[in-house]
Every structure is written in structure tokens, then in C-alpha cells.
Amino acid sequence: MHCNMRGDRASVDKDTTATTAPGTGTATAGLRDHRYPDGTFAALIATPFVTAPTRAALQARMDKPPVIEPRFLAAGEFALLGAVCDHLLGETGERRIDVPGAIDARLAAGTTDGWRYDALPDDGSAMKRGLAGIDETARLMAGAPFADLAAADRERVIAAVAAGDPPGETWRGLPARTFFEDLLAAATESFYAHPLAQEEIGYAGYADARGWQAIGLDEREPREPEPVAAAFATSEGRP
């Protein structure tokens, strides 16, 4: 296995970070935490609950070695993309889901997801210019390239780009808010497509070769594990 989720489980279970964006929510969040036990995916993938094409697709994703030499981005751009993805995805462990490698591979292949904002240039140009913009903003706001910044400064830079008005000449020709939305969406999609990220959120939907019979509220089938975070399981087992 070439990648893993970070292992600081105890601290995450106490995570009460408000996930409510200003003005959009009605209550605190971080309430639910339904990660599945380590090894859930490895155990389920071998069972008849997973169809052959599903097993092939997911196992290939698990086994894919991390990209070392980018094919589209320059080495420096690729390292910067890695630092940005780490921050966006909260990846702090030694081994990570290879989101930057997946993004570089897609740019190298020239495949798109079917559309882009007309306000942005083509995906490859947008990525190169946006990364340059992030580094420029980092130098202007914190005096060093993004990858050299501590977490708090990285957060200030990312927040400025996300808000759409970061300092830097680069952004005169590239709408920062729109670029950031696309980058965050691409990174998030790639991350949660990985079986181990899906294990973290308690997803077992790939194990459906025989379908689901228990589909209603608070219903669980035997092949779906108990969540690890039992302290949160207030409603499990309710009639």
C-alpha cells in the first residue's frame, strides 16, 4: 500500500470544528463521525459483495504508485501543488492519498470533466497560473514561497485566494475565487474517490453486488461495520 490516511484518530474524534460557513447553517457540526475500522475496505473488497469490475477499479486505485515525476507540471509546480493539496485536504501524515499525482495525470492526458468556466483559460494554463499566483500571494503576505510557510500562514494565503481578492499581479488575469473553486473541487473529488478516504467516512456503497435490503433510516446490514466512533452512535440500534 502506497498511501494511507493519517492516524491521529483520538484528536479527530474530539473535533468540534464548526463546519458551518457564515450565515448558512443552523447548528454546530462535526457532530457525526462514522469512520469505519482500519481494514474495512481490505476485507470487503475480497468478498462476493463486490462485483468484478468494481474490484478491478478500486484495487487499481489502491495499488497505484504515487507520482514522483510529474508529466504535465514542472517539478517545482508539482511540489507546490502537493503543499496546497495537503492544506486543502488536511493531510499531515507521512503517507498521503496521491491527489496531486491524479491531477497532473489528468492535465497530461488533456481530459476534462466536460465544462469549464468561460472566465478561466484551459485547465492546464489555469493550473500553472494559479499555482504561480498562490506563490506570489504567499511571498507578498508572508515573505516566503507557500511550501516554506507554517500552517497558520498557509491558511491566511489560502483564505485570501478563496475570498477572491488576494494580493498579486498574477490574479489580474485570473479570477482567484473561480480558480480556487475549481481547484478545491478537483482535489476533493479525487480524495474522496479513494477507498481509504471512503473508509474514513463510513462508506461501503461499493459492496453492493447483491444490492441493499436495509435501506431505511437507522438500518444497517451485517456487512456494514459498526462505526469506530461509538461515542457518536446515539441513534444506532434505535427501533
Residue 238 in grid coordinates: 434505535
Place of cell 441493499: 212
Question: Under the criterion CB under 8 A, does residue 62 sit at the interface with another protein?
Answer: no
On whether the CB atoms of residues 63 and 77 are closer than 8 A, the answer is no
Instruction: Using alpha carbons, select from 32, 35, 2 the residue that is nearest to residue 15.
Output: 32
Q: Which of residues 162-191 bind another protein (CB under 8 A)?
A: 162, 180-181, 184-185, 187-189, 191
Distances (CA, A) of 36 to 7, 33, 49: 13, 9, 17
Question: Under the criterion CB under 8 A, does residue 76 sit at the interface with another protein?
Answer: no
On whether the CB atoms of residues 135 and 146 are closer than 8 A, the answer is yes
Q: Which lies closer to another protein via its Cβ, residue 70 or residue 195? A: 195
Question: Under the criterion CB under 8 A, does residue 125 sit at the interface with another protein?
Answer: no
Residue 35 CB, nearest approach to another protein (Å): 6
Question: Under the criterion CB under 8 A, does residue 118 sit at the interface with another protein?
Answer: yes
Q: Which of residues 201-230 bind another protein (CB under 8 A)?
A: 201-203, 205-206, 208-220, 224, 227
On whether the CB atoms of residues 19 and 7 are closer than 8 A, the answer is no
Question: Under the criterion CB under 8 A, does residue 192 sit at the interface with another protein?
Answer: yes
Question: Under the criterion CB under 8 A, does residue 10 sit at the interface with another protein?
Answer: no
From candidates 3, 58, 131, 160, binder to another protein by CB under 8 A: 58
Question: Under the criterion CB under 8 A, does residue 37 sit at the interface with another protein?
Answer: no
From candidates 2, 4, 7, 29, binder to another protein by CB under 8 A: 29
Euclidean distance between CA atoms 19 and 5, whole angstroms: 21
Q: Which lies closer to another protein via its Cβ, residue 24 or residue 65? A: 24
What lies within 8 Å, CB to CB, of 237 at 6+ separation is 218
Strand, helix or coil at 100? helix
